[in-house]
């Protein structure tokens, strides 16, 4: 299969679509709802019989949802699970756990349901750009459809009951994935992120908790769900994100006005390395791709669409490379194949 064919067949909607409000800064918006079933132990206490019961109950509840297919963890290779994680469709826990678990996934991969992860059910909607309200609407529709057939664990005082206390209440996590090279280059990023943390939001790396902020990409989300309505959680994230977007835009304007030659040089050097490298690590590739996207957004580099950034930050990851080439690859082999994929994608 050609690289273009692989991209068209295997990449999610949030990666392929570049349309979206403030998409030059906000790469994606995600809403996740944590739910558990009444009278069945939470996944970390559930035995194999309990786990299988949850899988079957959710399967029955999903009957009629023609747009969704079920992927059982036991039928997925490690590379398949890694690729799903790299597309932000499953968590690292679901990659590594050896439980009766799986994923319900719709055709464009904008909506998914993890089964037997940290909670019995994790509903997720992931959209391109700054679209938290639309993502919430779609997640609520799916949640309502399931709740008509399933008996959720719910307490009138505490709300939805979850494995982790920080998710009790609405069970809602709202997050945006943002690209902030301007704030990094102007050395304002730590100041801004400290302010974000003081406002009660969590700042994590590209793959969530415990991951690094590679390629100047960060995820910003609410830390608690108890005592707040869904509208309050989303309004807070939206308000703070808009401030971050403004700071990033101001940083980019300053760079363009005060450091144009230096930034143009950095951008074109990054493009040159990516276009000609024959071996490259994941970390270096993400850093250079970040610089190239900044150049595209500032109209200093007109050869590419900014969509290429979202495509490549997924395509160059270990699971995806091995899926693309259909074989297990050593770290050295991945560095070689990563450079090959980047050269071909830029050339085409």
| Cα distance between residue 341 and residue 337, in whole Å | 6
Q: Say whether 204 counts as a known binding-site residue.
A: yes
Q: Say whether 208 counts as a known binding-site residue.
A: yes
Question: For position 332, what pLDDT does the model report?
Answer: 97
- The pTM is what? 0.90
Q: Say whether 209 counts as a known binding-site residue.
A: yes
Q: Say whether 268 counts as a known binding-site residue.
A: no
* Chain-centre distance for alpha carbon 16: 13
Domain with CATH 3.30.590.10 in the chain: 7-253
Q: Say whether 32 counts as a known binding-site residue.
A: yes
Q: Say whether 272 counts as a known binding-site residue.
A: no
Q: Say whether 159 counts as a known binding-site residue.
A: no
Question: For position 207, what pLDDT does the model report?
Answer: 59
Q: Are strands 159-160 and 154-155 parallel, antiparallel or unpaired?
A: antiparallel
| Cα distance between residue 236 and residue 106, in whole Å | 29
| Cα distance between residue 7 and residue 258, in whole Å | 38
Bridge partners of 166? none
Question: For position 301, what pLDDT does the model report?
Answer: 86
| CATH class of the domain defined by 7-253 | alpha beta
Question: For position 302, what pLDDT does the model report?
Answer: 76
Instruction: Give the DSSP letter string of 233-254.
Output: HHHHHHHHHHHHHHHHHHHHHH
> Interior CA angle at 119 toward 34 and 133, to 5°?
15
Q: Say whether 215 counts as a known binding-site residue.
A: no
Question: For position 22, what pLDDT does the model report?
Answer: 80
Residue 203, H or E segment: strand 201-204
Q: Say whether 177 counts as a known binding-site residue.
A: yes
pLDDT 10s per residue in the chain (348 long)? 566 665 666 778 888 765 555 888 999 999 999 999 999 999 989 999 999 999 999 999 999 898 999 999 999 988 889 989 999 999 988 888 878 999 999 999 999 999 999 999 999 999 999 999 999 999 999 999 999 999 999 888 888 888 888 788 889 999 999 999 999 999 999 999 899 888 888 888 765 555 566 789 999 998 877 678 889 999 999 999 999 999 999 999 999 999 999 999 999 999 999 999 999 999 999 999 999 999 999 999 876 677 888 899 999 999 999 988 989 999 999 999 999 999 999 987
Half-sphere exposure of 142 (CA within 13 A, CB side): 30
Question: For position 219, what pLDDT does the model report?
Answer: 93
Question: For position 229, what pLDDT does the model report?
Answer: 86
Q: How many residues does the chain have?
A: 348
Q: Say whether 334 counts as a known binding-site residue.
A: no
Bridge partners of 126? 30
Q: Say whether 30 counts as a known binding-site residue.
A: yes
Q: Say whether 206 counts as a known binding-site residue.
A: yes
Q: Say whether 203 counts as a known binding-site residue.
A: no
Q: Say whether 15 counts as a known binding-site residue.
A: no
Bridge partners of 32? 124, 173
Convert the pLDDT of each residue in 197-232 to its tens digit: 888 888 887 655 555 667 899 999 988 776 788 899
Q: Contact, 26 vs 14, CB < 8 A?
A: no
Provide Rg for the chain, Cα atoms: 21
């Amino acid at each position: 299969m050609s690289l273009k064919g692989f991209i068209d067949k295997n990449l999610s909607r949030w990666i392929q679509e570049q349309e979206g409000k403030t998409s030059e800064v906000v790469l994606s918006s995600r809403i996740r709802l944590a739910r558990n079933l009444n009278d069945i132990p939470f996944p970390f206490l559930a035995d194999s019989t309990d786990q299988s019961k949850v899988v079957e109950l959710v399967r029955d509840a999903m009957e009629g949802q023609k747009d969704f297919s079920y992927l059982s963890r036991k039928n997925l290779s490690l590379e398949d699970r890694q690729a799903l994680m790299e597309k932000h469709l499953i968590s690292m826990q679901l990659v590594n756990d050896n439980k009766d678990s799986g994923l319900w996934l719709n055709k464009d991969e904008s909506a998914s349901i993890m089964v037997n992860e940290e909670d019995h059910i994790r509903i997720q909607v992931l959209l391109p750009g700054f679209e938290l309200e639309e993502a919430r609407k779609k997640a609520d529709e799916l949640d309502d459809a399931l709740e008509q057939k399933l008996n959720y664990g719910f307490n009138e005082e505490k709300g939805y009951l979850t494995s982790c206390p920080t998710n009790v209440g609405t069970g809602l996590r709202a997050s945006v994935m943002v690209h902030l090279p301007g704030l990094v280059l102007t050395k304002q990023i730590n100041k801004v992120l400290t302010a974000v943390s003081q406002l009660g939001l969590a700042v994590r790396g590209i793959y969530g908790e415990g991951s690094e902020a590679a390629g100047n990409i960060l995820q910003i989300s609410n830390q608690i769900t108890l005592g707040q309505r869904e509208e309050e959680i989303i309004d807070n994230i939206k308000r703070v994100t808009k401030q971050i977007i403004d700071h990033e835009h101001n940083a980019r304007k300053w760079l363009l006005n005060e450091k144009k030659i230096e930034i143009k040089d950095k951008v074109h050097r990054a493009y040159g390395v990516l276009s000609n490298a024959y071996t490259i690590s994941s970390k270096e590739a993400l850093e250079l791709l970040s610089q190239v996207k900044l150049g595209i957004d500032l109209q200093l580099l007109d050869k590419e669409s900014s969509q290429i950034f979202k495509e490549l930050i997924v395509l160059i990851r270990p699971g995806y490379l091995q899926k693309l080439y259909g074989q297990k690859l050593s770290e050295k082999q991945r560095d070689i194949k990563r450079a090959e994929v980047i050269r071909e994608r830029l050339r085409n």
